[in-house]
Chain A
């Protein structure tokens, strides 16, 4: 019995394990048909491999791209990304800044006392309280109920709308000719 072509294909790739490999080799010794089959497969394989791209084309930018990545991620020989490096610097300075703000805030009370007049001077926003004198209604009721029907109709008319009004249960005067309004 001859070798099936899947086995030959694996044999060609050097992927056939023992004992099959030896068996295939022994069979190939005396079977011209299988030798021919293998040879065809090999030449097809060569043909496909020959369609590969030339080395110098594939490798032409290798160094350029490495230099680019190197300067982007490993500049000055440091192994830390720029984000982390920036964080390392900014974190202590952030704490210092926060401490300074707190210090000035507390210092204000310590040196100037806490009488309401002075507090107003230092922190004017503390004075504001929500009583009737400084709360103002922002929205006015400007709904349609403030207008008469006539005003609304006039407005719509001035904008060029054709408005047809009818009252439920009442027939128009010339009911015979006019289309009854819905």
Chain B
């Protein structure tokens, strides 16, 4: 079904269906909920302002994902130092802790920190693919569309990223015990 970005009903539907996906993808790049919300809003504003017609909801989704990904990557490139400073102050997002009891939250936060460090250690071409795979629920075909690479390439990169992550995370465990 055709999607017109300035049509209110279309806009509402695309917003409802993609907000979670976009903010999740952005969040895994910027790791700051306020910034992620700003960038998500920015992505939807661009969607409206562009005044485009998409052949299907999927095409609108791919477009939004591409824009969101680029907005987030640009943001961290621009504010690399600033982001690092913010992160030092608030390592764990506070909202994560409130809903669980202390011990569970601590384990969760620890895991998040380790996984995040491992993902950040990946080269950029692997990082983006594995993040989209693990945190957006998109299949290989959609990831290929978003990133402008082939499906086979996605498969190869997902596998390489997993291998690397396994190496990094298992070395970490050995250090602990």
Q: Does A73 contact B (CB under 8 A)?
A: yes
Q: Assess the A56–B37 pair: CB atoms within 8 A.
A: no
Residues of A within 8 A of B93 (CB): 53, 57
* Per-position 1/0 for A53-84, Cβ under 8 A of B: 11011111110011011101110010101000
Q: Assess the B95–A54 pair: CB atoms within 8 A.
A: yes
Q: Assess the B140–A13 pair: CB atoms within 8 A.
A: yes
Q: How many angstroms between the C-alpha atoms of A132 and B164 in the bound complex?
A: 88
Residues of B within 8 A of A66 (CB): 12, 15, 19
Q: A15-B155, A44-B162, A53-B27 are in contact. Are A65 and B96 (CB under 8 A)?
A: no
Q: Assess the A47–B115 pair: CB atoms within 8 A.
A: yes
Q: Does A40 contact B (CB under 8 A)?
A: yes
Q: Does A119 contact B (CB under 8 A)?
A: no
Q: How many angstroms between the C-alpha atoms of A7 and B60 in the bound complex?
A: 31
Closest B residue to A63 using CB positions: B19
Q: Does A163 contact B (CB under 8 A)?
A: no
Closest chain B CB from A135 CB (angstroms): 53
Q: How many angstroms between the C-alpha atoms of A53 and B23 in the bound complex?
A: 10
Q: Assess the B19–A62 pair: CB atoms within 8 A.
A: yes
Best-surrounded residue of A44, A53, A65, A66 (most CB of chain B within 10 A): A53
Q: Does A48 contact B (CB under 8 A)?
A: yes
- State how many residues of chain A have any CB contact under 8 Å with chain B: 36
Q: How many angstroms between the C-alpha atoms of A58 and B135 in the bound complex?
A: 12
Closest A residue to B108 using CB positions: A50
Q: Does B58 contact A (CB under 8 A)?
A: no
* B8, B27, B139: the one within 8 Å of A79 (CB): B8
Residues of B within 8 A of A159 (CB): none
Residues of A within 8 A of B169 (CB): 44, 47
Q: How many angstroms between the C-alpha atoms of A61 and B39 in the bound complex?
A: 12
Q: Which residues of B contact A (CB under 8 A)?
A: 6-8, 11-12, 15, 19-20, 23-24, 27-28, 33, 36-37, 40-41, 44-45, 48, 51, 93, 95-96, 99, 108, 111-112, 114-116, 119, 130, 133-135, 139-140, 155-156, 158-159, 162-163, 165-166, 169
Q: Which residues of A contact B (CB under 8 A)?
A: 5-6, 9-10, 13, 15, 40-41, 44-45, 47-54, 56-62, 65-66, 68-70, 72-74, 77, 79, 81
Q: Can you list 21 pairs linking A and B with CB atoms under 8 Å apart?
A: A10-B158, A13-B133, A13-B140, A15-B140, A40-B166, A44-B166, A49-B135, A50-B115, A51-B115, A54-B95, A57-B96, A58-B23, A59-B23, A62-B20, A65-B37, A66-B19, A69-B15, A69-B48, A72-B45, A73-B11, A74-B11
